[in-house]
Amino acid sequence: QVQLQESGPGLVKPSETLSLTCTVSGGSISNYYWSWIRQPPGRGLEWIAYIYYSGSTNYNPSLKSRVTISLDTSQNQFSLKLSSVTAADTAVYYCARGPTRFDYWGQGTLVTVSS
């Protein structure tokens, strides 16, 4: 059974860079697409970006200028960096498998942007 686990700081200061890592276990990161999705408290879901194991990427245009997604196949991990964060970036961040529909999800990690 594939499992995903997000890790990273739960508190980030405004204007700094949010960095998260997703570790995939129970299966290889190869041959699949992997995404980041976020959910502000009490609100709906927003897809952020995906990466294919080959390294090709796609970003949500609304966030593209601030987002970088990368992966490390040797560690079975992929990562998210979101720069110049503001309070509007406070959300639960999920990693998930898939480019467009998502069949496996991590449990999510709350990232709060505050000084």
Partner 1 sequence: EIVLTQSPGTLSLSPGERATLSCRASQSVSSSHLAWYQQKPGQAPRLLMYGASSRATGIPDRFSGSGSGTDFTLTISRLEPEDFAVYYCQQYGGSPNTFGPGTKVDIK
Residues binding partner 1 (CB under 8 A): 44-47, 58, 60-62, 94, 96, 100-103, 105-108
Q: Which is nearer to partner 1, 78 or 102 (CB)?
A: 102
Q: Which is nearer to partner 1, 15 or 56 (CB)?
A: 56
State which H helix or E strand residue 52 sits in. Answer: strand 46-52
In whole angstroms, how close is the CB of 16 to partner 1 at the nearest point? 25
In whole angstroms, how close is the CB of 4 to partner 1 at the nearest point? 9
Place of tokens 């110049």: 84
Phi, psi torsion values for 64, nearest 5 degrees: -55, -40
Q: Which is nearer to partner 1, 1 or 31 (CB)?
A: 1
> b/e per residue, 64-78, with b = 16+ CB within 10 A?
eebbbbebeeeebbb
